[in-house]
Structure 1
Amino acid sequence: MARRRWRLGLTLGALLAGTLAVTPGAAAEPTDYTIDVDRTRTGAQIDDSMYGVFYEDINRAADGGLYAELVQNRSFEYSTADHKDYTPLTSWKASGTADVKDDAGRLHTRNRNYLALGAGASVTNSGYNTGIAVQKGKRYDFSLWARAEQPAALTATLQDATGSLAQARRVTARGGWAKYTATFTAARTSTTGRLTVAAERPAALDMISLFPRDTYKGRANGLRKDLAEKIEALNPGFLRFPGGCLVNTGSHEAYDAQSNWQRKRSYQWKDTVGPVEQRATNANFWGYNQSYGLGYYEYFQFAEDIGAMPLPVVPALVTGCGQNQATDDPALLKRHIQDTLDLIEFANGPVTSAWGKKRAQMGHPEPFGLTHLGVGNEENLPDEFFARFKEFRAAIEAKYPDITVVSNSGPDDTGSTFDRLWQLNRDAKVDMVDEHYYNSPQWFLENNDRYDSYDRSGPKVFLGEYASLDNKFSNALAEAAYMTGLERNADVVKLASYAPLLANKDYVQWKPDMIWFDNARSWGSASYETQKLFMRNTGDQVVPSKASTTPATSGPITGAVGLSTWATSAAYDDVRVTAADGTSLLTDDFTDGDSQWTRAAGRGSWAVQDGAFVQSDETAENTLVTAGDKAWQNYDLKVKATKKSGKEGFMVAFGVKDTGNLYWWNLGGWNNTQSAVEKTADGAKQSLIQDNTKIETGRSYDLEVKVRGRQVALYLDGEKWGEFTDDKKAEPFRQVVTRDKATGDLIVKVVNAQSDAARTRIDLGAGSKPAPTAEVTTLAAAPDAENTADAQPVKPKDSTFDGVDTTFSYTFPAHSVTFLRIKEE
């Protein structure tokens, strides 16, 4: 990398000679960077709620995760609607006569299935992951609902392959449906336990449950303690729930006990409150069943327990996450708006109100203090969404004017949907807009100034979902660097939450994630450690400061060309690459085969068919083939492309250095809902420009990409589709300074995301009287370090630094996040 600018008399020639040449009168210690604190100006106020957590039931975050229930499929409601391989007996093994029934003998109309167990029969549950985890000496509360025409003894046992884990427990079912309970005390520790229930006589069973007694805060129907405590340790200012995509995907119809009970419904809060045995399960967007044992009451309670502001999100009757449908049913819209008003009453209403009474009956007579509520999530139909959002907003503000109603800006940080929604939000003077984006580490290092130019008088920003696309320390460093910009713009960015929050290591639909777990252990990722450092040391006000920068090194976009598909069969023909001066670099009409192209093993099924280069596997993802020279620059790429079948369109790559570093024009991506130019750096992608172009099956398209320096123009059938200049600087040295009013401390936060230590002169400004010793917290590790269950190389180290003065020097380690807490005398 290029050397940084040196100050205070150090010359580049002396550096290269291995000596230090110091000009007369300069400080003896050379400095790579400077940080100058301007105490004469006042920066943005930082709200206590700025940093929070985003909770979504993804990666088995609820059942099998934060929700402490140890029995999987406890009410026999699993269905192919949840997952193609599910049956009502998934995770159960039966011995003897054991039939799942759905008839008038059920426990409740919203709890359809139950198990009819014959005399001498038994069922055994395997729990989640490797089995049911228990710890020696801990107590576990067993319960089930049962009915029996004749008194039926039911014996419950806990065992693993080695033998018994606890003394067996016996209850006797008599008559109609009733709840029976018992308690196990684990005789030894195991992570592979099994729970068996055996019937002496015929009996009907439902809601077979096993809970650790030691839940978070000791609550019944409670939360897994270690996970809840890790979230609490972040000191979050808010809790956003119940999720992202699962909020507004699926049908918006209500639960229908007669015909639609297994239907995939959007997340509707009324399904999730009341006695757990009367909560209807639902198919989760992420491909499994959600029991709703962890529901809205439990979310509100958890927010209160961790001292966080609750921030629920409700569907706006426009689906998102690739579904892209708007419901045109005035009666249904009216019902959902009323449900939202009822939700506010459930959270805040007096016990004399209908829903306040329901809250009190569940155990919380005091209001939960709801102040913010989101409507909608990542909708790709901006006008349709906003028309419905305005109706929700008007109804809420009319009855509850103190509630802040949060809108959103779609699923990405840029593009036509983003621009249109921001225009609509600004024009309507919306209070707050929820932005979501996931990008490469480079994007986060390049976009620290994103919010510098936002309108200070416009809607405030809730950055509800963001993360760099992996869980290595290099990702956490890039996020930390970006967070300095969030704090600097705390007058615009009022709320921010990394996402997703939780991931069960054996059920992963999305990575990165903040907290990982298995049956018995949990561990914070590198991003968890950086988030915790910022969230526990936020401060109350930004103190303006400025740092010197790192000289950028950039040249023209260089690289080979490529063709690819994603879950699609497509044909390519007449590929031509021409240098800017007209020199032909590549011509291929595939008359002589495909010898000019390099393919990776296992990436699709490529062959020359009917004079075109065809990828025929509709299930293969990222089937990239490449041609040409990595040193190519300033060229035109032309190709004919035809979609033959499948879910998406086609991808034309340029600037290809390798499979992890390239650009591609992704036409008809995201299930053929939008198109974009995506840049991949070290395997992580970011969108540079995008729109809603869709690709027609069977139609031939002429595509052209013109690369000039770092400028790129793209043409679709001869018309300019878009253009961009990829010239943003990835700054690896970022800083922000805040003040903690409670202690009076200055908190100097510095991210050094590069392989060299950063020797820095820090000037605290005229009039400062700092104490000589600062408290220091440092996160430093190799950029590819990743925390796992067995090793956590990324963890904070506390120390002190005794050289603080009005002006002093400090060396920030390579690949590090450092917080200096400086007291003023």
Structure 2
Amino acid sequence: MSRRSTRLVLTFAALTALTVAPLPVAAQAAPAYTLDIDPAAAGPDLPRSMYGVFFEDINHAADGGLYGELVRNRSFEFDPADNSSFTGLTAWTVSPNGGTARVLDDAGRLNERNRRYLKLDVTGGSFGVTNGGYNAGFAIERGKQYDFSVWARGDSAAPLTANLTDAAGAVLARPVMVTAQAGQWVKYTGTFTAREPSTTGRLTVTAGASVSLDMVSLFPRDTYKNRPNGLRRDLAEKIAALEPGFVRFPGGCLVNTGSHEAYEAPDWERRRSYQWKDTIGPVEERATNANFWGYNQSYGLGYFEYFQFAEDIGAMALPVVPALVTGCGQNQATDDPELLRRHVQDTLDLIEFANGPADSPWGARRAQMGHPEPFGLTHLGVGNEENLPDEFFARFTEFREAINERYPEITVISNSGPDDAGATFDRAWELNRAADVDMVDEHYYNSPQWFLENNNRYDTYDRQGSKVFLGEYASQDNRFANSLAEAAFMTGLERNADVVRLASYAPLLADRDNNQWRPDMIWFTNSASWGSTSYETQKLFMTNVGDRVVPSEASTTPIVNGPITGAVGLSTWATSARYDDVTVTAADGTGLFADDFSAGAGKWTNISGRGNWTVDGGSYLQSDVAAENTMVTAGDPRWQNYDLTVKATKEAGAEGFLVGFGVRGSGDYYWWNLGGWANTRSAVEKATGGGKQTLLENGTRIEQGRTYDIRVEVRNRHVTLFLDGQKWGEFTDDKVAEPFRQVVTRDAATGELIVKVVNAQASPAPTRIDLGGTRIAPQGRLTTLTGAPDAVNTETTTPIQPFESTVDNLSSTFDHTFPPHSITFLRLRPQ
């Protein structure tokens, strides 16, 4: 995932870019579209694993989410090194009197991986601590059982009492009482049966004598498949209901970020990259690690649990291991050959853990955890979104060669970086093709406009070359307009199933009250969960894939793109920069605008509401080095065919300049992003309704303190860009956002044709469907998703839900009108 995409929001304004003018009323009775289907022909086969899910611990998707544990910071491992707000008592409160509480890291620890523990020095009566869980607290259901456990060691025999209450102190269950003995660490357990429900549950552990505590846990008995150390049932069931063909895990950006220190370090190192061996075995012996997304992860949900969950829902497990080259906006490659050899060996050990016999070294570890039979691993990814394609591929090659030598049956998946195009993408694909890599993982998060424009993206891919795993994609928000665009794009994925063999929307889960990313498929609180409009869209496609594509052809919508129009803009991203001598000149030489800021900045409007813009020393300065997207704009939104010139100087901060053109609003513009992505590359980006796509890119970086001359020439829909008098690049933005898309597949089990049609416009789409003389049953089955393009599913209202119905009087040629803003699956049964 590219971190920049986290800040993109689609607004209702995007609708104007997704619609065409409504048909005249008189014309709507006659077919506006044609759809010709050839049931006698056969297109590409569709694998059972075509669509899957991608799980990354982002948005608190694991701890506090899918992982069933209710206690946060159960082993007191939180530390300011991971997050400046953390302490060993994060999420805990200490009794106001009766003793002292100390988080210790010394030889008395529970084990080498669980280093810190809590010492309660009781000075009188009883003394203890209370855990509030995640966000509001624990969700407790009346009549349900909750398993309590704690590792404890008394200075002498120490009575312990565990109480389950709500935030106001009301008792929710009979207390659990044990006595911690002196000497060794011992695990003590008990069970609460809830007498009352609450969404603000608290766990309090008090001691009657001095005692050491670690791994304080509260787990619902009612987990998915009733497994100990299991998964939150409602979230797991929603994932299972998708019937995914695979589960990609554990990321994502957290796979290959962090340090890559030696595995057998003399001391536990913080901020390690995600390493699978850290996540297996008894949970009290697993580490807590810093998470790329700004919080901690306990690894209670580890590789064994991932494999087990994939098996439980009938999906293929698809793990991803670090390649020792950072990605996700970071640009570092580890050159330690011994460290690389160790990681390669760890990956071979992972395959043995998954597939080895129970008497093999790592197969025995799997068997000890309760699964003597192999998991049947077939695919494995190496790396994620690396920005250094040559460095990545050199290391990927060593992984691939070692895996192919010992496990030739495993498909080793490479990747193409963080974007859908650009220098990194092109170079990565060049390397992958030259090496005849089996499968390449592509990632992109783009605007709805991009998805509507790129249905044919894979039409020209080499049919004999590397296959595509679309491991992460989404349109940039959770409104139904986004889902319509994604659905239109997915018809192209299925049509090209001989190239695109795996695809997964991302991310999967998000805590409503604590998240780092939008959009997401499934949202949750501590007590509720709901599917977004994209969840309903993905579910419709995933549960109606079919087995083979049936060739079909549809007419298109007559759309003509007008010229690029809009005002001009200046912006920054986590950078202080100054601008001067802004001019806009019409193509015929007529002056439209000029500002040297000698008279102030009265011509400019801050449409972002961010940044600290002032006139300073005769130029326009944005001085806030933390603010992101500080867009100010000037001029006429009706401008077209003009030249924009400006002088720009970076003063301080992480990036460079953002020079806008074709600006029509805060979410609709083009900008030349010079020195973006932490000053690692530059690109032209187009925003439509707040969602962005990259149109042109190269590796230009910006020097601090140097003044650059920038010129942008806009002609119709062609743009040429000059930096310091030299041509930097050019592009023509002439793709059409086609709102009417279709694909047809065959369900071998039922013999039915599944006609999948997306109508992403405000007008109904009367369509003549011609099956070339093939006779069908007179009645078909319809499943439809339809609603307002700005509709959003929430905890309390889900306007986008599937509607099932039937359609009658069908024949080999028939007319059907697809509703505005709709996704329709029509099942036809040939006779």
* TM bracket, shorter-chain basis: over 0.9
Report the alpha carbon displacement of residue 594 of structure 1 after superposing the two structures with TM: 1.5
How much does 1:443 deviate? Answer: 0.5
Q: Deviations over 1:701-746 (max 9, x none)?
A: 1111110100001111122111111000001111000000111010
8 Å CA contact 2:607, 2:633 repeated in 1: no
How far does the alpha carbon of each residue in 1:183-202 deviate from its partner, in whole angstroms, 9 at most, with x for none? Answer: 00000110001100000111
- Measured in 2, the distance between the counterparts of 1:326 and 1:257 equals 20
- The answer to whether structure 1 residue 117 and structure 2 residue 123 are counterparts is no
Residue of structure 2 equivalent to 1:782: 788
1:5: how far off? 12
Residue of structure 2 aligned with 1:314, choices 293, 311, 321:
321
Q: Is the 8 A contact 2:18 2:449 kept in 1?
A: no
Q: Specify whether residues 440 and 79 from structure 1 end up closer, same or farther in structure 2 by C-alpha distance, changes over 3 A only.
A: same
Task: Specify the SS of the correspondent of 1:144.
Answer: strand
Q: Which residue of 2 aligns with 1:717?
A: 724
Q: Is 1:823 aligned with 2:829?
A: yes
Pair 1:170–1:255, CA change in 2 (3 A): farther
Q: Tell me: CA distance 1:5–1:337, structure 2 relative to 1, closer, same or farther (3 Å).
A: closer
For residues 127 and 423 of structure 1, do their structure 2 counterparts lie closer, same or farther at Cα, with a shift above 3 Å needed? same
Distance 1:237 1:600 in 2: 44
Q: How does 1:646-661 map to 2 (within 5 A)?
A: 646-661=653-668
Structure 1 residues 387-402: aligned runs within 5 Å? 387-402=394-409
Counterpart in 2 of 1:588? 595
Contact map agreement 1:4 1:32 (CA 8 A) in 2:
no
Alignment of 1:210-359 (within 5 A): 210-255=218-263, 258-259=266-267, 261-359=268-366
Q: For the structure 1 residues 635 and 61, does the alpha-carbon distance in structure 2 shift closer, same or farther, using more than 3 Å as the test?
A: same
User: Structure 1's 781 and 19: CA in aligned 2 closer, same or farther, altered over 3 A?
Assistant: closer
Give 1:4 shift.
Answer: 12
- 1:801 alignment partner, one of 796, 801, 807: 807
Q: Tell me, yes or no, if structure 1 residue 83 matches structure 2 residue 86.
A: no
**Structure 1 residue 516 displacement after superposition:** 0.3
1:386 aligns with 2:393: yes
Q: Deviations over 1:668-722 (max 9, x none)?
A: 1111111111101111111111122111111111111110100001111122111
Which residue pairs with 2:438 in the alignment? 431
Equivalent residue number for residue 376 of structure 1: 383
Cα contact 1:310–1:372 (8 A) shared by 2: yes
Aligned-partner residue type, residue 229 of structure 1 = E
Aligned 8 A contact 2:18 2:760 in 1: no
2:366–2:372 Cα contact (<8 Å) kept: yes
Contact 1:3 1:551 in 2 (8 A): no
Looking at both structures, which has the greater relative contact order when contacts are Cα pairs under 8 Å and sequence separation is at least 6?
A: 2
Query: What SS does the corresponding residue of 1:388 show, helix, strand or coil?
Result: helix
Q: Which sections of structure 2, spanning at least 5 residues, go unmatched?
A: 1-15
Alignment partners' CA distance in 2, 1:201 and 1:251: 41
Q: Which moved more, 1:30-39 or 1:218-227?
A: 30-39
Selected match of 1:524 from 524, 527, 531: 531
2:7 alignment partner in structure 1: none
AA at the equivalent of 1:109 = E
Tell me the distance in 2 between the aligned counterparts of 1:39 and 1:131. Answer: 56
Q: In structure 1, the residue corresponding to 2:357 is in which secondary structure?
A: coil
After superposition, the C-alpha distances for 1:593-649 in whole angstroms (9 at most, x for unaligned) are 222212247321111111211111111111111111111111111111110000110
AA in 2 matched with 1:517: F
Does residue 185 of the first structure (1) align with residue 188 of the second (2)? Answer: no
1:343 shift after superposition: 0.3
State the alpha-carbon separation in 2 of the partners of residues 604 and 723 from structure 1: 30
Q: What letter corresponds to residue 611 of structure 1 in structure 2?
A: G
Q: Distance in 2 between matches of 1:3 and 1:76?
A: 50
Report the AA paired with residue 160 of structure 2: L
Cα distance change on mapping 1:597 and 1:19 into 2, 3 Å = closer
Change (3 A) 1:145 1:185: same
Native 8 Å contact 1:110 1:257 kept in 2:
no
The answer as to 2:454 corresponding to 1:454 is no
| 1:62-101 correspondence to structure 2 within 5 Å | 62-95=62-95, 96-101=99-104
Asked whether the 8 Å contact 2:83–2:294 carries over to 1, the reply is yes
Q: Which amino acid in structure 2 is aligned with residue 805 of structure 1?
A: S
- Is the contact made by 2:17 and 2:688 (CA closer than 8 Å) also made in structure 1? no
| In the alignment, structure 1 residue 537 sits paired with structure 2 residue 544 | yes
Q: In the TM superposition, what is the alpha-carbon distance from 1:3 to its structure 2 partner?
A: 14
Q: CA RMSD in A?
A: 1.6
Partner of 1:792: 798
| Count, aligned residues | 808
* Paired residue type of 2:49: S
The letter of the residue matching 1:99 is R
Alpha-carbon displacement from aligned partner over 1:539-591 (angstroms, at most 9, x marks no partner): 00000001111001311101110100011000111111111111111122222
Contact kept in structure 1, 2:576 and 2:623, CA below 8 Å: yes
Shift of 1:799: 0.8
- Report deviation, 1:94: 0.8
Q: Does 1:205 align with 2:208?
A: no
When normalised by structure 1's length, the TM-score is 0.96
2:706 matched residue in structure 1: 699
Give the 3 Å change call, closer, same or farther, for CA 4–233 of structure 1 in structure 2: closer
- Deviation at residue 83 of structure 1 after TM alignment: 1.4
Q: Which residue of 1 aligns with 2:42?
A: 42
Corresponding residue number in structure 1 for 2:4: none
Q: Distance in 2 between matches of 1:388 and 1:656?
A: 43
Q: Is the 1:449–1:485 contact (alpha carbons within 8 Å) kept by the matching residues of 2?
A: yes
Structure 1 alignment gaps of length 5 or more:
7-11, 22-28
Q: Distance in 1 between matches of 2:370 and 2:159?
A: 33
State the SS of the aligned residue for 1:723: strand
Query: Cα deviations across residues 283-340 of structure 1 (Å, max 9, x unaligned)?
Result: 0000000000000000000000010000000000000111110001000000000000
Give the aligned partner of residue 104 of structure 1: 107
Please tell me whether the aligned partners of residues 70 and 210 of structure 1 are also in contact (alpha carbons under 8 angstroms).
yes
Of 425, 429, 434, 1:422 maps to 429
* Residues 9-46 of structure 1, C-alpha deviations (whole Å, 9 max, x = no match): xxx9xx86x6579xxxxxxx511111000234321110
Whether the 8 Å CA contact 2:447–2:688 is kept in 1: the answer is: yes
Moved more, 513-522 or 670-679: 670-679
Identity value in percent: 69
TM-score, normalising length from structure 2? 0.96
Counterpart selection for 2:604 from 597, 609, 616: 597
Amino acid at match of 2:105: D
Query: What residue number does 1:171 align with?
Result: 178
What whole-Å deviation, never above 9, does each CA across 1:396-453 have from its counterpart, x for those lacking one? 0000001000000000000000000000000000000000000000100000000001
Task: Give a deviation string over 1:260-300, Cα, whole Å, max 9, x none.
Answer: x2521110000000110001110000000000000000000
SS in 2 for 1:534: helix
Asked whether 1:134 is paired with 2:140, we answer yes
In structure 1, the residue matched to 2:686 is 679
Distance in 2, matches of 1:2 and 1:803, equals: 36
**AA in 2 matched with 1:44:** P
* Residue range with higher mean Cα deviation, 250-259 or 162-171: 250-259
Q: Cα gap change, 1:809/1:3 in structure 2, threshold over 3 Å: closer, same or farther?
A: farther
- 4+ residue runs of structure 1 moved beyond 4 angstroms? 1-6, 18-21
- Whole-Å Cα distance in 1 between the matches of residues 91 and 252 of structure 2? 27
Structure 1 residues 59, 241: closer, same or farther in 2, change over 3 A? same
CA distance in 1, matches of 2:105, 2:684: 51
Query: Is 1:635 aligned to residue 645 of structure 2?
Result: no
